[in-house]
Every structure is written in structure tokens, then in C-alpha cells.
């Protein structure tokens, strides 16, 4: 058998660990040929494919990014994109494709499966917002970055008696804000799931001052929205999956807090530092298990399925189910975070 592997959407630490596991077990255990498809679905449309052998995966386990490159290409938006994919699969005699991605990349995988492509999905996103899996790889690395940043910001906030607003990623779901915020001892956390009330945030900052805490750390997910106005975006342009580029809520919030409380406020946008660099040990292990699971599913003919983590076991779930709706923050977890507000 000849198997293709691609990485699509925003990159995330652990992609190379998945590729390494697929290639390693695919070649040494099953005797497959493995082809690396460049730049997500775009590479399959254009036929940009490279053979992967044991040498190509040597030393990539701790490396962030992806040796295959990535893109946010949606073949269903390209003229005859699906026809071209079928043609390239025949041209390279590719029997099946392992697609590593988030809701967009795996949404395409689910639709291609309906059109006869043999595909297995691997859940990747720092946002941890894919359904049917306890965790996506990349998330643990992202919250480690947030937690370390909050530790650093605590000391300077305390020294200057400032409010620090920290904007983190999370377009539709606030997992990074909530778990990163709990780990880093945030004094308030704002998520896309719960529209925020500026008056309440300022009251909590005030309450801290009254009990002698002259600094506050506020974590805000990029997709968080105030109760009374709409999303803060950088541009009006949409990508191939219809997403606007977010960013700006932190600065909005910082200015409002300073105006309303009179306390000096600074804003830090963590941005792509949350996505770059080396994966944590947890993400390396999870990504490795997912890669092994994916090549096993191919061998077992479990197409149209995604590898998932369920109670520390790797299980198959239908791709269509996994991408049907996003996994938003568990309200019980947010209640835990709220105990530490103010």
C-alpha cells in the first residue's frame, strides 16, 4: 500500500511527532510506502508530493512546525479541486490519506470520504476545540507557554502595581484561556463562550486593591466579546474557510480598564508564540500515539474515522461526528476558574 500524509491549517507543536510515528510504523511494521503531501490539501490538488523514509524523519520529534508545510486551502472552494485530488491520487497510486488537522482540514477530510477518498483523520489544534476527543495535541504546549508567560507577568505587574491584560488564542472556544489561566493564577478569565461585563471585571480589580493586592492579571481569549458590542477584528477579509482574523480585544480591554479604574494597565498579546517551538512531553507522547493509531486504522481499513483520546485510550470516531460541532469549554471547569477571580 502507498499512504499519503498531510498537515493542514494552523501549525501546532507535535505535527512532526505524528509524521515520524506514521512513517516509522508504516514502513517497518506494515511495509508501506509513505508519501509526504506538501502544504495541506493544496499539495494534493497540485501533486506536490515527496517520498518519506526513515532518514527523512530522523531528529524531527522535538521540532515544532511541520516538515511538510501547511496551508489553509479548502479544495471545495477551488475549481474542480475534488476532481484534481482524485486525479493526483491515481497518478501517485496513493491508496489512502492521513490528514492531520483541526475542524477545517478534517471537515474537508469528512467530505472527501463521502466522495470515495480513503482517509483517516488526526486531531490537531492548540485550541483543543475538536469534539469527540479528550485532547488535541498542541494544546498542552500552548497552555504551558501561557502559564510561563503569566508567571513572568506576575512579577512585573506586582513591582509596578499594574493591571496586565494577556490576550491568548481561542477563536470560538476558551480552553487555552481557562486552562492556561488556571495554571498561571489569573485573576479574571474571559472566554468566547461567556460574553463579559466590563463593570464586573473592574469591580473585581477594585476588590483586589481593597484587600491589598495592587496588581491584577486578566486573561482574555481572542474571540471573547463584551456583552454590549461585537467582535474585535484586525481586518474584514475572510480566509478559505470563512474566518476573519481576530486580534485586538486585549487592547480594547486594556484601554477600557485603565479608563474606568484609573489603574495603569499594560497589554501583552501572546499570539503565535503559543503555536511555535518544541512540543511538551505530553504532546510528543499524544502525537506519537495518534500517529501510530492512524497508521493502524489505515491497516485495519477504518476509513472515514479520526483517532481520538478517550479516557487515555486511542479510539476511532467517525470524522463526520468529530467535525459536526466544536467542543466549547466545560462550564464546570470555568466554575473552578471563577473561584479565583478577584
Q: Which residues bind ligand F6P (CB under 6 A)?
A: 10, 102, 125-127, 169-171, 222, 246, 275
Rounded to the nearest whole angstrom, what is the least distance from the CB of residue 317 to ligand F6P in the complex?
A: 20
List 11, 127, 129, 283, catalytic entry: 127
Rounded to the nearest whole angstrom, what is the least distance from the CB of residue 191 to ligand F6P in the complex?
A: 12
Nearer to ligand F6P, 127 or 296 (CB): 127
Rounded to the nearest whole angstrom, what is the least distance from the CB of residue 116 to ligand F6P in the complex?
A: 28
Nearer to ligand F6P, 107 or 304 (CB): 107
Cα separation, 19 vs 61, in Å, equals: 9
- Residue 339, Cβ density class (10 Å: 0-12 exposed, 13-18 middle, ≥19 buried): exposed
Whether residue 127 lies in the annotated active site: yes
Is residue 95 within 8 A of residue 1, CB to CB? The reply is: yes
Q: Which residue is nearest to ligand F6P (CB)?
A: 169
Cα separation, 329 vs 124, in Å, equals: 17
Nearer to ligand F6P, 187 or 222 (CB): 222
Nearer to ligand F6P, 144 or 216 (CB): 144
Rounded to the nearest whole angstrom, what is the least distance from the CB of residue 206 to ligand F6P in the complex?
A: 31
Cα separation, 18 vs 12, in Å, equals: 11
Nearer to ligand F6P, 58 or 235 (CB): 235
Nearer to ligand F6P, 141 or 265 (CB): 141
CA atoms within 13 A on the CB side of 82: 12
SS3 per residue for the chain? CEEEEEECCCCCCCHHHHHHHHHHHHHHCCCCEEEEECCCHHHHHHCCEEEECCCCCCCCCCCCCCCCCCCCCCHHHCCCHHHHHHHHHHHCCCCEEEEEECHHHHHHHHHHHHCCCCEEEEEECCCCCCCCCCCCECHHHHHHHHHHHHHHHHHHHHHHCCEEEEEECCCCCCHHHHHHHHHCCCCEEECCCCCECHHHHHHHHHHHHHCCCCCEEEEEECCCCECCCCCCEEEEEECCCCCEEECCHHHHHHHHHHHHHCCCEEEEECHHHHCCCCCCHHHHHHHHHHHHHHHHHHHHCCCCEEEEEECCEEEEEEHHHHCCCCCCCCHHHHHHHHCCCC
Nearer to ligand F6P, 119 or 169 (CB): 169
Which residues are known catalytic residues? 127
Amino acid at each position: 500500500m502507498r499512504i499519503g500524509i498531510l498537515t493542514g491549517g494552523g501549525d501546532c507543536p507535535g505535527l512532526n511527532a505524528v509524521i515520524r510515528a506514521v512513517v516509522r510504523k508504516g514502513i517497518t511494521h506494515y511495509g508501506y510506502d509513505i508519501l509526504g503531501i506538501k502544504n495541506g490539501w493544496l499539495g494534493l490538488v497540485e501533486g506536490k508530493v515527496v517520498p518519506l523514509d526513515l532518514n527523512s524523519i530522523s531528529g524531527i520529534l522535538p521540532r515544532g512546525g511541520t516538515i511538510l508545510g501547511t496551508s489553509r486551502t479548502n479544495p471545495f472552494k477551488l475549481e474542480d479541486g475534488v476532481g484534481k485530488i482524485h486525479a493526483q491520487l491515481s497518478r501517485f497510486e496513493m491508496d489512502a490519506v492521513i490528514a492531520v488537522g483541526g475542524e477545517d482540514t478534517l471537515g474537508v477530510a469528512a467530505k472527501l470520504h463521502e466522495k470515495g477518498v480513503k482517509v483517516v483523520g488526526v486531531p490537531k489544534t492548540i485550541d483543543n476545540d475538536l469534539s469527540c476527543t479528550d485532547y488535541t495535541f498542541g494544546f498542552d504546549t500552548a497552555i504551558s507557554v501561557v502559564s510561563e508567560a503569566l508567571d513572568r507577568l506576575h512579577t512585573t505587574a506586582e513591582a509596578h502595581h499594574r493591571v496586565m491584560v494577556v490576550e491568548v488564542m481561542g477563536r470560538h472556544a476558551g480552553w487555552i484561556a481557562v486552562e492556561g489561566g488556571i495554571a498561571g493564577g489569573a485573576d479574571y478569565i474571559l472566554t468566547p463562550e461567556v460574553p463579559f461585563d466590563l463593570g464586573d471585571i473592574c469591580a473585581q480589580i477594585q476588590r483586589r486593591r481593597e484587600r491589598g493586592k495592587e496588581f491584577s492579571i486578566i486573561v482574555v481569549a481572542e474571540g471573547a466579546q463584551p456583552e454590549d458590542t461585537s467582535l474585535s477584528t484586525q481586518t474584514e477579509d475572510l480566509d478559505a474557510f470563512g474566518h476573519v482574523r481576530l486580534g485586538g480585544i486585549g487592547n480594547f480591554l486594556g484601554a477600557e480598564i485603565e479608563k474606568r479604574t484609573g489603574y495603569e494597565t499594560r497589554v501583552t498579546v501572546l499570539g503565535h508564540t503559543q503555536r511555535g517551538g518544541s512540543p511538551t512531553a505530553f504532546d510528543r507522547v499524544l502525537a506519537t500515539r495518534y500517529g501510530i493509531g492512524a497508521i493502524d486504522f489505515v491497516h485495519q481499513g477504518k476509513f472515514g474515522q479520526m483517532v481520538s483520546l478517550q479516557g487515555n485510550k486511542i479510539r476511532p470516531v467517525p470524522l463526520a461526528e468529530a467535525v459536526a460541532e466544536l467542543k466549547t469549554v466545560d462550564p464546570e471547569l470555568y466554575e473552578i476558574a471563577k473561584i479565583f477571580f478577584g
